[in-house]
Amino acid sequence: MSNTSNRKQAIVIGGGIAGLTTCYRLVTKSAERGIPLNVKLLEAGDRVGGAICTSKQDGYVIEHGPDVFLSTKPWAKALSEELGIADQFLGTNPMERRSFVLHKGRLHPVPDGFYLMAPASFLPFVKTPIFSWHGKLRMALDWVIPRRRKDTDESLESFITRRLGKEAFTRIAQPMIGGIYTADGKDLSLKATMPQFLGMEKQHRSIIKALVARKKESQGGASGTSGPRYSMFLSFKSGMQTLTDTLAERLPDDCIQLGTKVSRLDYRSQVEAQPKSRSIGEEKWHVHLANGEQMEGDLVCVALPAYRAAGLVETVAPSLSGSLASIPYASSAIVNLAFRRSDIEHPLNGMGFVVPAIEERSIIGCTFSSVKFAGRAPEDYALLRAYVGGTGSRGEMYFQRPESEIVESVLRELHGLLGLKGDPQLALVYKHPNAMAQYHLGHLDLVAEIEAQARKLPGFALAGNAYRGIGIPDCINSGEQAASLLLEQGLK
């Protein structure tokens, strides 16, 4: 399986959005710059897309992984425009922007103007039953509490509790941020996950003050979204897989190799492998496959979860491997359920709801998919999407259950909360084991160390959700950065 032509060979390992983007950029940039380069994508599974997975069934468009991307981070939007699929963008329903939060067994709207952890509007905040009077007064103290002097990393829980009090964390920020990161706020690094709030404290001292200023600004014309054409949260008419399918279609015919699990990498002189065919000293990456075969590459990008990347580089870079292995991951399961609309008593007048850990439920949230996006369910039917799992023993316990038990427990919860009457028309569970990187305290320092160690390896790059952002736009950015690094450093 050696590359006999004069063209350089790049091998990208992992066919999620990060790996696909890396391949696409290697192909487009090398063509633009006239660099002769073969690109191979090795994917262990029988499909590309990784966590991104959409299926269609009985008139439903069903998301088994992510269902949306942020248009305020430029990379996913820009890539879609370049691929010519921006005409398929689908914004969230502008009529039903609200979300609910579970509080003492009942769903309450998140107060208008509330942003993740703090209010920007006075009246809806004062009226909401989600917080006690004591909790509301404590949140208001944010207006006068001085800035933190130290510049060391701080956990989200510590930051929110310090500025806005415990209720702000347990009753709303924990479930909302937990929903994004499937994580526990006591471990999450503020700098790595929500640096905008750190910036708000630095600039305005008070988070509430900063949010009020931001609201005024957006009312004055700066929309807070990425522009007049797009909603802040976007998907595609046929689902998120449109993006990964299109990327895969745009790669050269023989680029993607499915069912190809990589077990180990090493970097050594060609002379050891083929004494007669190469000059002594010409070094290559050797990609060892799980089936015993080997491939050679001049450039390698590992676009896998960090713990898998750690296994691949264990012999070639033990210290890098150790650092990669120290990034923790969480598991989650997505449960899609379809009902006749008349079998749900709740008006479904919102995007969905989140569940604080203190409510001790088996689900961490639920999206009303057919309300959030048009065309996700046939008329007179509703598609719901519940989330199970996350960090902590409780989340892990629910995640580990057999699929039938997960459906049963989700249905039990939703019966009580949404007033379900009949059985679901469709119930599908999709498990994502150890798919969500957890950015714990000190994460950015750890990533800087990983990047420094990775730079020592010639023609080598890392990409994926473990490093500088878990969202789809960030993973795309990581793939683009990896491709640039390989082209600039690897082909010197």
Ligand X SMILES: Cc1cc2nc3c(=O)[nH]c(=O)nc-3n(C[C@H](O)[C@H](O)[C@H](O)COP(=O)(O)OP(=O)(O)OC[C@H]3O[C@@H](n4cnc5c(N)ncnc54)[C@H](O)[C@@H]3O)c2cc1C
Residues near ligand X (CB under 6 A) are: 13-19, 42-45, 50-52, 65-69, 261-262, 303-305, 308, 332, 334, 432, 435-436, 464-465, 470-472, 475
Task: Please give the distance of CA 353 from its chain centroid, rounded to a whole number.
Answer: 19
Token output for 188: 């999450």
In the complex, the smallest distance separating the C-beta of residue 346 from ligand X, rounded to whole angstroms, is 22
**Cα-based torsion angle of the residue sequence 58, 61, 64, 70 in order, rounded to the nearest 10 degrees:** -170
Considering beta carbons, is residue 164 or 472 the nearer one to ligand X? 472
Which residue, 471 or 490, is less far from ligand X as judged by CB? 471
Q: How far apart (Å, rounded) are the C-alpha atoms in residues 100 and 154?
A: 28
Q: Phi/psi zone of residue 138: left (φ > 0), alpha (ψ -120 to 50 degrees), beta?
A: alpha
CB of 133 to ligand X, least distance (A): 35
**Residue in 10, 42, 47 with CA at minimum distance from that of residue 291:** 42
Q: Of the two residues 11 and 414, which places its CB atom closer to ligand X in the complex?
A: 11
- Whether residue 432 contacts residue 272, with contact meaning beta carbons closer than 8 Å, is answered with no
- Do 418 and 370 contact (CB within 8 A), yes or no? no
Euclidean distance between CA atoms 349 and 229, whole angstroms:
24
Task: Find the angle CA(216)-CA(130)-CA(95) to the nearest 5 degrees.
Answer: 55
d(CA 81, CA 244): 14
Residue (66 or 175) nearer to ligand X, CB: 66
Exposure string for 447-457, b = 16+ CB within 10 A, e = fewer:
beebbebbeeb
Please report how close the Cβ of residue 125 comes to ligand X at its closest, in angstroms.
27
Q: Among residues 120 and 407, whose Cβ is nearest to ligand X?
A: 407
**Quick one: 15 or 178, whose CB is closer to ligand X?**
15
- What is the residue whose two structure tokens read 């023609």? 459
Question: d(Cα 486, Cα 97) in Å, to the nearest integer?
Answer: 42
| Cross-strand pairs, 287 | 265, 295
Minimal distance, residue 91 CB to ligand X, in Å: 14
Q: Quote the least distance from Cβ 148 to ligand X, whole Å.
A: 29
**In angstroms, what is the minimal distance from the CB of 83 to ligand X?**
17
Q: What's the closest the beta carbon of residue 249 comes to ligand X, in angstroms? A: 17
Task: Determine the angle formed by the axes of helices 17-32 and 472-485, rounding to 10 degrees.
Answer: 40
Residue with tokens 């003492």: 104
* Closer of 141 and 290 to ligand X (Cβ): 290
What is the nearest approach in angstroms of ligand X to the Cβ of residue 201?
25
Residue 87: exposed, middle, or buried by beta-carbon count in 10 A (0-12, 13-18, 19+)?
exposed
Helices (H), 43-132: 74-83, 122-127
Beta carbon nearer to ligand X, 38 or 465: 465
The SS3 assignment for 177 reads helix
C-beta separation of 230 from 86 below 8 A: no
CB of 465 to ligand X, least distance (A): 3
Q: Which is nearer to ligand X, 282 or 293 (CB)?
A: 293
CB of 290 to ligand X, least distance (A): 7
Please say which residue, 53 or 102, places its beta carbon nearer to ligand X. 53
User: Which three-class secondary structure state does DSSP give residue 214?
Assistant: helix
Distance spanning both ends of the chain, measured CA to CA:
25
**Closer Cβ to ligand X, 155 or 336, answer by number:** 336
> Smallest distance from the beta carbon of 266 to ligand X, in angstroms?
15
Quote the least distance from Cβ 32 to ligand X, whole Å: 24
Nearer to ligand X, 121 or 238 (CB): 238
Choice between 435 and 485, CB closer to ligand X: 435
Q: How far apart are alpha carbons 49 and 20 in whole angstroms?
A: 8
Min separation Cβ 475 and ligand X, Å: 4
**Strands of 100-103's sheet, edge to edge?**
106-109, 100-103, 352-354, 365-368, 381-389, 329-340, 426-437
